[in-house]
């Protein structure tokens, strides 16, 4: 089998993308996240006050995995925890009949306030799943053997609805060749390395190692590269109050690229103007990964590409231009 689900920007800045998923008998809107490996949802186990504005999973006690729990926290300090059920999950017509569904009993304010997001669907390696006493599989791992091809493809778009394809490559979603590189899955994520970066027409050799991450809004790279980029943006500055580099909203932003597998993967300058700030300037889509030791190729990087995540005998990542 194969199937496709839409990926709809949650707001006008593409802060995150939401996809409809049937969990049990409810349809929820989940943030597909290639940076984590838990499928967790807002649920009827939570206080009613936490559910206002959300769709949520009506748990069926008969389906509970007794004694199983989960607890997750994300880089931005948000997090959630709860109990585990085995229930039907359908994504774009692809069905997992007994998927581990992590039903929240408690959720941090960042999620409760984000009334559009009813939970996350992790698409990293199942080795990062947080369920105890036995780690559970991601949705992709659960359905892998029933897929026509062992892959999913990410088609996030700039200020428009894209899609996640499971089990097939959609030729109508990209132009030119697909360029494949081996994925480094040793840390549980979809890891890639670049051998150079470019700012405008100038290229610099450098090793940029990072993870592909649909669950992160921006593109986080090493500080020297960030500084070199904004040196080319008139009026840009590091603004600690806003938490990153900002610039006049009228600024012309150079294209940025990472060379992966010998091919320049270009991020158009336009995509690097993420959003206006409360201070009257604009917030950059490229920011520093300060000190986490690797880069995070989030939505700002992904939204100009069609990215195939293939879990064959050797995991691979394929890049093509949208």
Ligand X SMILES: CC1CCN(C(=N)N)CC1
| C-alpha atoms less than 13 angstroms from C-alpha of 218 in its C-beta half-sphere | 19
Is 170 part of the annotated catalytic residue set?
no
Enumerate residues 234-273 that contact ligand X by CB under 6 A: none
R_g of the chain computed on alpha carbons: 20
Q: How many residues does the chain have?
A: 322
Smallest separation (angstroms) from ligand X to the CB of 212 = 10
Choice among 55, 87, 114, 213 that is catalytic: 213
One of 14, 33, 55, 87 touching ligand X (CB under 6 A): 33
Dist CA 100 CA 96 (whole Å): 9
Which positions from 274 through 303 interact with ligand X, judged by CB under 6 A? Answer: 296
Binding-site member from 2, 19, 36, 129 for ligand X (CB under 6 A)? 36
3-class state of residue 114 by DSSP? coil
The candidate with the shortest Cα–Cα distance to 87, out of 66, 59, 107, 68, is: 59
165 as an active site residue: the answer is no
If the CB atoms of residues 22 and 78 are measured against ligand X, the closer one turns out to be 78
**Nearest approach, Cβ of residue 157 and ligand X (Å):** 18
Nearest to 287 by CA among 234, 249, 215, 236: 236
Query: In the complex with ligand X, which residue's Cβ is closer, 36 or 99?
Result: 36
Span interacting with ligand X, options 32-40, 129-137, 237-245, 246-254, rule CB under 6 A: 32-40
- Could you tell me which residues are beta bridge partners of residue 170? none
Residue 40 as a binder of ligand X (CB under 6 A): the answer is no
* Residue 81 binds to ligand X (criterion: CB under 6 A): no
Q: How far is the CB of 153 from ligand X (least distance, A)?
A: 18
Q: Which of residues 108-147 bind ligand X (CB under 6 A)?
A: 110-111, 114, 117
Q: What angle do CA 56, 57, 60 make, to 5 degrees?
A: 150
Q: Tokens at residue 260, please?
A: 């992966």
At a CB cut-off of 8 Å and minimum separation 6, what does 293 contact? none
Contacts to ligand X from residues 198-237, by CB under 6 A? 213, 215-216
Phi-psi map region of 235: left, alpha, beta (phi>0 left; psi -120 to 50 alpha):
left
- Please report whether residue 38 would count as binding ligand X according to CB under 6 A: no
Active-site residue list: 33, 213
Question: Where do contacts with ligand X occur on this chain (CB under 6 A)?
Answer: 31, 33, 35-36, 74-76, 78, 110-111, 114, 117, 213, 215-216, 296
């Amino acid at each position: 089998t194969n199937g496709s689900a839409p990926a709809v920007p949650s707001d006008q800045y593409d802060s995150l993308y939401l996809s409809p998923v049937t969990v049990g008998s409810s349809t929820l809107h989940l943030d597909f996240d290639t940076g984590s490996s838990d499928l967790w949802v807002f649920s009827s186990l939570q206080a009613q006050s936490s559910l206002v504005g959300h769709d949520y999973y009506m748990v069926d006690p008969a389906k509970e995995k007794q004694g199983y729990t989960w607890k997750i926290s994300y880089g931005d300090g948000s997090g959630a925890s709860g109990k585990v059920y085995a229930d039907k999950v359908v994504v774009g017509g692809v069905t997992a009949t007994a998927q581990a569904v992590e039903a929240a009993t408690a959720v941090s304010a960042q999620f409760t306030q984000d009334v559009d997001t009813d939970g996350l669907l992790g698409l990293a390696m199942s080795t990062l799943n947080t369920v105890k006493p036995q780690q559970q599989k991601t949705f992709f791992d659960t359905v892998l053997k029933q897929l026509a091809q062992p892959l999913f493809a990410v088609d996030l778009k700039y200020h428009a609805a894209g899609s996640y394809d499971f089990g097939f490559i959609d030729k109508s979603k990209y132009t030119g060749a697909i360029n494949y590189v081996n994925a480094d899955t040793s840390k549980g994520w979809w890891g890639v390395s670049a051998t150079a970066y470019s700012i405008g027409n100038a290229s610099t050799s450098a090793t940029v190692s990072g993870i592909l991450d649909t669950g992160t809004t921006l593109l986080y790279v090493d500080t020297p590269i960030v500084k070199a980029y904004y040196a080319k943006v008139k009026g840009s500055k590091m603004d600690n109050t806003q938490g990153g580099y900002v610039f006049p909203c009228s600024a012309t932003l150079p294209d940025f690229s990472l060379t992966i597998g010998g091919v320049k993967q270009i991020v158009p300058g336009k995509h690097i103007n993420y959003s206006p700030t409360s201070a009257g300037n604009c917030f950059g889509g490229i920011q520093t990964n300060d000190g986490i030791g690797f880069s995070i190729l989030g939505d700002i990087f992904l939204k100009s590409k069609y990215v195939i995540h293939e879990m064959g005998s050797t995991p691979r990542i394929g890049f093509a231009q949208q």
